[in-house]
Structure 1
Amino acid sequence: MSKKRRVFDIDLPVDDTPPAAAPSRDTKADARRGPMAAAVRETAESLNSRAEIEQKIREENDRLAHEHVRLKKAGLITDLVPLGKIRVSKLIRDRLSEGDDLTELKESIRAIGLSNPIQLEEADDGYFELVQGFRRLSAWREMKDETGDAEKWGHIPATIIAKGEALERLYRRMVDENLVRRDISFGEMAVLARDYAHDPETEAKDVDEAVSVLYESANKQKRSYVRAFAKLLEYLQGAVLYPQIIPRALGLELRKLIEEGLVLPETVIARIKAVPAPRSPEDELAVLQSFVSAAKPAAPKPTKEQKPRVAKTTFRLERSRGAAKVTASQGRLEVLLDCDFSAKDRHALEQALAEFLTKLEE
């Protein structure tokens, strides 16, 4: 009985040509499997390659997404945001806008652009809440209204921070920016501390605690001034419409006079409200100054005996052309010399005096 042939035994013709380099195992397998098997293998390899590429893309996308979140938390993502998408309702502003002149700020923006973008926090409804930059946003909106150019002024550069940051930190961001600029008044800081303390969303129990939270970066003396202004505004019960224009010395003195009983807050309130409408910042300031001036006793005029003596230095300077008597006092130097100075050449006289004064200042 003859031996049965196996299905895959193939008789190859004898070839006397020297064999070429041995093909790879895959090439041999493709030759044995035929065209269909090769096509299937190529398809599988292509799918594997595509899966590898897609996996790399997903990994890169994940990396970029994490980087975006990191930059946003750090406040380093900047974009052009439509003005209509920005709200200013979440934080009580520390800037009082009455009478605020934005002319210089607008001229600067027109000339060199907005060098410091405003800062926004994302909201859940697709809008943004303003954190920093109330005056910059106000100036930008005014320029859009004045020019009607929505294409140029309809979007404002803004740094976008991730939503969810604690309310206290958002207030600190706003406050610290103005503290650094040093142009915010104690009246404005006091108003913010008062409103912050009364806001049910915050945890401050009273104005003192609000000052400690909001102005932690300020020195102790400045926080003391803010508390004094807050107390003054509390005494005046909202009668003052322009607390931002009250000078530090005036506010501190008026608060002191009220607490010493030398000025009655009810009288100040009545005098302010008696000013005819419309009441200007200067009107209010004049009323407040009048109480401080009236409470201070007039300094008595010094008598002749009480007048302080003016210190003088007198000496005689011997010279070959005649002695000179010199008298020196505060702001005055007198030289008596037997000489007609009016006969001297004016240019020579000016030069001599200039050299003399220069020598004295050395």
Structure 2
Amino acid sequence: MSKKRRVFDINFDDVPAVETPQVDPVVAPSPAPEGRRGPMATAITENADAVTARQSAEAAIRAENDALAHEHVRLKRAGLITDLIPLDLVDTTKLTRDRAPGRDEEMDDLKISIRDIGLSNPIRVEKNGDRYELIQGFRRLSAFRELFEETGDEAFAKIPAGINASGEDLQNLYRRMVDENLVRRDVSFGELARLAISYRCQDPNIESYDRAVEILYASSGRQKRSYIKSFVRLVNAIGDDLLFVAAMPRALGLRLVKLVEDQPDRIEVLLSELRARPDRDDVAEQAILQSFVASGGTTKTKTEVRKTAKSTFKMTRPEGVVKCIAADGRIELQLDRDFSGLERKRLEASVQAFFDELDGEG
């Protein structure tokens, strides 16, 4: 039986033998060169670097946001934040305005200026929930509202406004409004007095009306504050029967308040005179007050209060129906006819004949 040949027997007779080097067991093999790292180690290192970079970026963003938030709060407290506020979101109920009743005579000039060059001085408001409460700028707000109503232009639907921080002290709000409006030449002592009365009624910590005047008008001179206090006493004495206190001259007001305080029992006489003319204008009211002062507090010869009884009847004339009204101190004849064209002498003669007939001398 023949001997089997091993498959892996290779004849290397022609290859010289290689001597195997001897390795010292005490000496450790050299480490692998740096930079040759496995893919897992590389991925871990890159991920750690990315996390560090992201954390640094987030910290920088948070620091910037905190700085912006603090700056926003600072600007808001200083009233330096400005925005465009819709007109229908602005209320005017928190502060009583020191404005005379009726339309401002300079409103048209202000509207022309706003149309031509815009609003150079924004109004001031305080945030109140979803709405805003006006602090300063009543005339500017009124001008914008009139312009929007007249033109329908959306440019006037919103008004530039400085937004104050909410919760500012009521005294500071009134002082801001007062100091802004004291530069107005047409502001009257009656208006200033009513503003002081309103302020004291709103703030329970103000012990008197005089104290309210001292606080609100601290920027004014002592003499002016004294005048305002006098008008405060006058308004409190006469009340709502004084319809046009804003139009009252200073001299008349001072004389009137002295007379009312010296003769408090005569107030009812004055009130009766005022109430007898509910349809009066400012000129008629001043005439009543002047007459009261000139007479020393007696507008009538009799001491009792004037009675309000009157007689009314109608007469038929060829020109139409004449309505006659007779009351204490006045008589009226109302007819749809123009009497202004009558000759003055003829009119005087007719009136004289009328009174002669009344007195039984005709």
Per the normalisation by structure 2, the TM-score is 0.69
CA contact (8 A) 2:83 2:162 kept: yes
Q: Does 1:180 align with 2:187?
A: no
Identify the residue that residue 199 of structure 2 maps to in structure 1: 196
Please state how far the C-alpha of 1:100 moved relative to its aligned partner: 3.0
Choose the corresponding residue for 2:79, options 72, 75, 79: 75
Write out per-residue CA displacement over residues 270-296 of structure 1, whole angstroms, 9 at most, x where no aligned residue. Answer: 21221152x322222222223234449
Structure 2 partner of 1:235 = 237
Question: Match for residue 115 of structure 1?
Answer: 120
For residues 209-259 of structure 1, the C-alpha deviation after alignment (integer angstroms, 9 at most, x for no partner) is 111121111111111011100111122122012211111111112112222
Which residue in the other structure is 2:304 paired with?
A: none
Q: Distance in 1 between matches of 2:57 and 2:101?
A: 56
3-state SS in 1 of match to 2:286: helix
Distance in 1 between residues matched to 2:87 and 2:27, nearest whole Å: 86
Instruction: Tell whether the 8 Å contact from 2:190 to 2:248 is kept in structure 1 after alignment.
Output: yes
Task: Check 1:237–1:6 CA distance in 2 against 1; reply closer, same or farther (3 A cut).
Answer: same
1:182 Cα shift? 4.0
The code of the aligned residue for 2:43 comes to A
Identity %: 49
* Distance in 2 separating the partners of 1:290 and 1:99: 28
| Equivalent residue number for residue 323 of structure 2 | none
Equivalent residue, structure 2, for 1:165: 168
1:63 aligns with 2:67: yes
Pair 111,289 (structure 1): closer, same or farther in 2 beyond 3 Å: farther
Contact 1:85–1:128 under 8 Å retained in 2:
yes
CA-CA distance at 1:195 after TM superposition:
1.7
Residues 132-171 of structure 1: matches in 2 within 5 Å?
132-149=136-153, 151-171=154-174
Alignment match, 1:223: 225
The 1:9/1:240 distance shift into structure 2, 3 A limit, reads same
Distance 1:286 1:294 in 2: 12
Q: CA deviation at 1:2?
A: 8.3
Paired position in structure 2 for 1:52: 56
Post-superposition CA distance 1:71-120 (Å, at most 9, x none): 11112221111112211122222224434332222222222222211111
Alignment RMSD, CA only?
A: 2.5
CA contact (8 A) 1:73 1:161 kept: yes
Unaligned stretches of 5+ residues in structure 1: 13-27, 297-362
Task: Give, in whole Å, the separation in 2 of the partners of 1:140 and 1:169.
Answer: 26
2:352 matched residue in structure 1: none
Cα–Cα, structure 1 residues 221 and 64, in superposed 2: closer, same or farther, change >3 Å? same
| Distance 1:276-1:163 versus aligned 2 partners, 3 A rule | closer
Runs of 4+ in 1 over 4 A off after TM superposition: 1-10
Q: 1:60 to 1:48 in 2, by over 3 A?
A: same
Write the distance in 2 (CA, Å) between the matches of 1:140 and 1:213: 32
**What SS does structure 1 have at the residue aligned with 2:292?**
helix
Please give the alpha-carbon distance, in whole angstroms, between the structure 2 residues aligned to 1:164 and 1:72. 12
Residue 263 (structure 2) pairs with residue 261 (structure 1): yes
Partner of 1:356: none
Shift of 1:158: 0.8
Structure 2: runs of 5 or more not aligned: 1-22, 298-362
Amino acid at match of 1:159: G
Structure 1 residue 40, shift from structure 2 partner: 2.3
8 Å CA contact retained: 2:86, 2:158: yes
Separation in structure 2 between the aligned mates of residue 5 and residue 170 of structure 1, nearest angstrom: 90
Alpha-carbon offset, residue 162 of structure 1: 0.8
Matched-pair contact (CA < 8 Å) for 1:236–1:266: no
Please tell me whether the aligned partners of residues 95 and 134 of structure 1 are also in contact (alpha carbons under 8 angstroms). Answer: no
Partners of 2:49 and 2:40 in 1: how far apart? 14
- Which of residues 92, 95, 115 is equivalent to 2:96? 92
* Cα distance in structure 2, aligned partners of 1:8 and 1:240: 111
Structure with larger Rg: 2
- 2: CA distance, partners of 1:143 / 1:263: 50
